[in-house]
Amino acid sequence: QVVNYAPFTLLPSAVPSALFEQAYAVQQDFNLLVDAISQNKEFLEHALASTIEVDDFTARLFRIHMQVLEEGLAQSVFLGINRSDYMFDCGVDGTPALKQIEINTIAASFGGLTSRTGAVHGRVLKVLGKSKEASRLLPNNPSKGLALGIAKAWELYGSQSAVVMFLVEEVQRNIFDQRCVENELWNRDIRVIRRRFRDVFEKGSLDDTKRLYMDGQEVAVVYYREGYVPKNYDQQNWEARLLLERSRAVKCPDIATQLAGTKKVQQELSRPGTLEKLLPGRAEAVARIRATFAGLYSLDMGEEGDKIAATAIADPDRFVLKPQREGGGNNLYGEELRQVLEKIRDSPERTSYILMDKIKPQPAMNYLLRAHSPLQVSKCISELGIFGVYVRQGKEMVMNMAVGHLLRTKAIEHADGGVAAGVAVLDTPYLV
Please report whether residue 147 would count as binding ligand ADP according to CB under 6 A: no
Question: Is 328 annotated as a binding-site member?
Answer: yes
Tell me the three state secondary structure of residue 57.
helix
Helical spans, DSSP H, in 158-298: 175-187, 197-203, 235-246, 255-260, 263-269, 274-278, 283-290
- Least CB distance to ligand ADP at residue 423 (A): 8
**DSSP reduced 3-state for 102:** strand
> CB of 169: closest distance to ligand ADP in angstroms?
16
The vertex-6 CA angle with 234 and 176, nearest 5°, equals 60
Residue 31 marked in a binding site: no
Q: Which helix (H) or strand (E) holds 214?
A: strand 212-214
**For this structure, is 394 an active site residue?**
no
Query: CA 296, CA 266: separation in Å to the nearest integer?
Result: 8
Q: How far is the CB of 341 from ligand ADP (least distance, A)?
A: 15
Return the number of the residue (29 or 326) whose C-beta is nearest ligand ADP.
326
Query: DSSP class of residue 328?
Result: S
User: Is residue 224 helix, strand or coil?
Assistant: strand
Residue nearest to ligand ADP (CB): 359
Residue 177: CB atoms within 10 A of its CB come to 23
Contacting residue, 151, 250, 269, 359, with ligand ADP by CB under 6 A: 359
Residue 326 annotated to the active site: yes
In the complex, least distance from residue 428 CB atom to ligand ADP, rounded to whole angstroms: 18
Is there a catalytic annotation at residue 322? Answer: yes
Choice from 121, 248, 338, 358 touching ligand ADP (CB under 6 A): 358
Which residues, 100 to 119, sit near ligand ADP by CB under 6 A? 101-102
Q: State the catalytic residue, choosing from 31, 109, 143, 378.
A: 109
Residue 399 is assigned to a ligand binding site: no
Helix (H) or strand (E) holding 371: none
CB-based contact 34:261 (threshold 8 Å)? yes
Among 182, 226, 268, 326, binds ligand ADP (CB under 6 A): 326
Q: How far is the CB of 325 from ligand ADP (least distance, A)?
A: 6
Dist CA 335 CA 317 (whole Å):
8
Contact 241, 300 (CB under 8 A): no
| Binding-site residue ranges for ATP | 102, 263, 322-331, 333, 356-359, 383, 410, 416
| Binding-site residue ranges for substrate | 83, 106-109, 172-174, 178, 225-228, 408, 419-420
Which chain residues interact with ligand ADP by CB under 6 A?
85, 101-102, 294, 320, 322, 326-328, 330-331, 356-359, 383, 416-418
